[in-house]
Structure 1
Amino acid sequence: MQIVECPRDAMQSWHSFIPTEKKVEYINQLLKVGFHTIDFGSFVSPKAIPQMKDTKEVLSQLDLSETSSKLLAIVANVRGANDAAEHEEIDYLGFPLSLSETFQLRNTNKTIQQAKDSLKEIQDICKKTDKTLVTYLSMGFGNPYNDPYNADYLLQFTEELNEIEVEIISLADTVGSAKPEDIDFAFKNTINTFPDITFGAHFHSTPEKAPEKLKAAYEAGCHRFDTAMKGFGGCPMAKDDLTGNIATEILMKFLDKNDVDIEIDKTHFQASEALASKVFI
C-alpha cells in the first residue's frame, strides 16, 4: 500500500498565500508520519500557480535526515522538469496528462498531442537524472466535458505510456464526478492489461462519497492512493467549484476497517492533523 500525502494539492488553490515558513513546518511534520511519498510542490509558472512560487525555497529547508518518505514535484513542461531534476532530494516528477482535450488545454495550455510530446522529453530527463516519472491521467474515469472516453481510448493512452516505460500512472478524478462503477471499470481494464505498471488513484470527492470511491478502487486492485489531510485541495484549472481531495483520515479509517497493514506513526499523524488546522486558515 502506497499512500501519497499531497500538501501541494491542498495548498495550490488556497485562497491566501501560505507563508514559506508555514509550508516548511507543515511538510517537515508530514515527513515524520511514514507516508510513502509527499507531493510537496511544483515547478510551474508562478503566474499560473502563485501559491507554489516558493517551492525551491521550501525544498531547501526540508529535513530529510530521518524520513522514509520520498518527494514528488509536479511539472507542467520540459523547462519545469529540468529545474526539478536539478535537485537530488526529489525522487518523482509528476506530469499531468489528460484524456480530455478540453481539460488539457485549460490545465497546461497544450493539446493532448503536445502534452504527449512533452511527456516523452520529460521521461528522457527522468532517465538521465535518476528520477521516476509519475503520469497523472486526468478525467481518468470519464469525461464531464463531453470529450471521448471508453475502454479502448483509456487503454490506447496507457499503451503509449507503457511504450516509453512510464512505471507509475495515477488515474485522476479531477472534478470529483467518478462513480464506483466508473472506477471499477477503469482500474480493472488497466491493471489487468498492464501488470508491470503501478496504478494509483487521485480522487477529488465530497466526504460522504469518498468511502465508496476508495472501496471501488481497492477492490479493483489499486493499492496507491493520493490524499490530503482534512480533505483540502482541488485543481484550480478544473472549474469554479472546487471539490477537495479525499481526506487522509478517511483513507486511514477505510484501511483499518479492511485490516490493511500500514506503517504509520499515529502520534505524528495526529500532530499533522492538528497542524493542518493552523496552516489552512
Structure 2
Amino acid sequence: MNPILITECPRDAMQGIHRFIPTEIKAAYLQRLLRVGFDRLDFGSFVSPKAIPQMRDTRDVLRMLDIPERSTTQLLAIVANVRGAEEAAMEEAVGFVGFPFSVSETFQLRNTNSTIAHSLDVVKKMVAICHVNGKTPLVYLSMAFGNPYGEPWSLAMVADYTGMLTDLGIRHVAIADTIGSSTPDLIASLYTYVCTAFPDVEFGLHLHSSPEASRDKLAAALDAGCIRFDTALRGFGGCPMAEDKLTGNIATETLLALLYERNIPSGLDMEAWTEAMRYSSEVF
C-alpha cells in the first residue's frame, strides 16, 4: 500500500483561540512537530491580523525555527489574497502556499471577504507568484461536502470548480469538510468522483468532525484510496469563520490508531510525536 501522507495542522488548531499564544511557545511547538516527520506542516498564515489575530506573528515564528537541512517536512502557509501570496512566496522556508477556495459564495465572502469570481483571479495570480518563486500552490476546496446556506451544491458542482482550478494550474487540492457535515458514504463518493475526473491532481482530505464521527470518516476515506490527510494533535481547531464550535480538526492520534489497527505504517518518529503531544498542553 502507498504510504499515508499526513499534513499536521497547528495553524488550523491555533487560529481560533482568543488568548494570544506567545510567539516563543508557538515556535517551540512547531519545532517539535518538525521532528516528527510529517509530510507537511500547516504552520501559519499570511493574512490580515484583524481577521485572524492569532496568526499575526507568523513571520516571527518562522524566523525562530531551526529547520534541518534534511527535513522531509514541507512548510505550508495559508493566504487569503494576492498580497499574502507575495509575502509567503518571499519566505525561503515555505514550500507550499495554500488558498481557501469555497464552492459557496456566502462562505467565500465570510472567509476571505471576496467573491468566488475574484477568488479565482487570486488563485490565478497565486499560481504565477508561486511559479516565479519556486513554491507549490495548493487550494483548499471549502464547503465541498454540502452547503448550509441554502445555496446550490452537488458532486458535479464541486467537480466543475475543481476543473476551473486545474485550468489555472492547480495540481494539489485538499477537499475540505469545513463544517463537519460529511458522512462516510459522501466522503467515499466525492473522493472517488474527483479522483476519477482529474487523475493528474493530487487530492487530500481536510476533514472537520465531531470526535465520535472521526474514525468512521477516516475509515471510509482509506477504503476509497485516500493517502493524504490533514489532521491536528488532540483534534483542536476548525474554522472560526464557520461558527460551529461542535466540530474541529480530526485528531492525529485518531488517524494513527486506525493505521495501527490496519497495519499501515505511518512513517513517523513516534518518540518525537509523543514529545510534541506532551508539549501541546503548553499551547492549548
TM-score, normalised by the number of residues in structure 1: 0.97
**Aligned ranges 1:156-167 → 2 under 5 Å:** 156-167=160-171
Q: Is the 8 A contact 2:47 2:84 kept in 1?
A: yes
Please name the residue that 1:140 is paired with.
144
Please name the residue that 2:20 is paired with.
17
**Aligned ranges 1:85-234 → 2 under 5 Å:** 85-234=89-238
1:165 deviation in Å?
2.1
1:43 aligns with 2:41: no
CA distance in 1, matches of 2:231, 2:104: 23
Q: Is the 8 A contact 2:23 2:60 kept in 1?
A: yes
1:142 deviation in Å?
1.5
CA distance in 2, matches of 1:11, 1:116: 27
Please name the residue that 2:88 is paired with.
84
CA distance in 2, matches of 1:58, 1:243: 27
Please name the residue that 1:26 is paired with.
29
CA distance in 1, matches of 2:108, 2:183: 22
Q: Is the 8 A contact 1:137 1:169 kept in 2?
A: yes
Aligned residues: 280
Q: Secondary structure at the match of 1:204?
A: strand
Return the match for 1:52 from 50, 55, 77.
Answer: 55
1:278 deviation in Å?
1.9
CA distance in 1, matches of 2:155, 2:207: 19
1:216 deviation in Å?
1.4
CA RMSD of aligned residues (A): 1.0
CA distance in 1, matches of 2:7, 2:208: 14
Q: Secondary structure at the match of 2:77?
A: strand
Q: Deviation string for 1:127-162 (max 9, x for gaps)? A: 111111110011111112221111221111111111
1:260 deviation in Å?
1.7
Q: Deviation string for 1:205-264 (max 9, x for gaps)? A: 111100111111121221110000000101111115352100000010111112222211
1:110 deviation in Å?
0.8
Q: Secondary structure at the match of 1:148?
A: coil
1:67 deviation in Å?
2.5
Question: Structure 2 unaligned runs (5+)?
Answer: none
Q: Secondary structure at the match of 1:114?
A: helix
Q: Is the 8 A contact 2:43 2:77 kept in 1?
A: yes
1:2 aligns with 2:5: yes
1:167 deviation in Å?
1.3
Q: Is the 8 A contact 1:8 1:41 kept in 2?
A: yes
1:109 deviation in Å?
0.9
Tell me the amino acid that sits aligned with residue 141 of structure 1: F
CA distance in 1, matches of 2:246, 2:96: 26
Q: Secondary structure at the match of 1:72?
A: strand
* Percent identity over paired residues: 51
**Aligned ranges 1:54-73 → 2 under 5 Å:** 54-65=57-68, 66-73=70-77
TM-score, normalised by the number of residues in structure 2: 0.96
Tell me the amino acid that sits aligned with residue 194 of structure 1: F
Return the match for 1:271 from 269, 272, 275.
Answer: 275
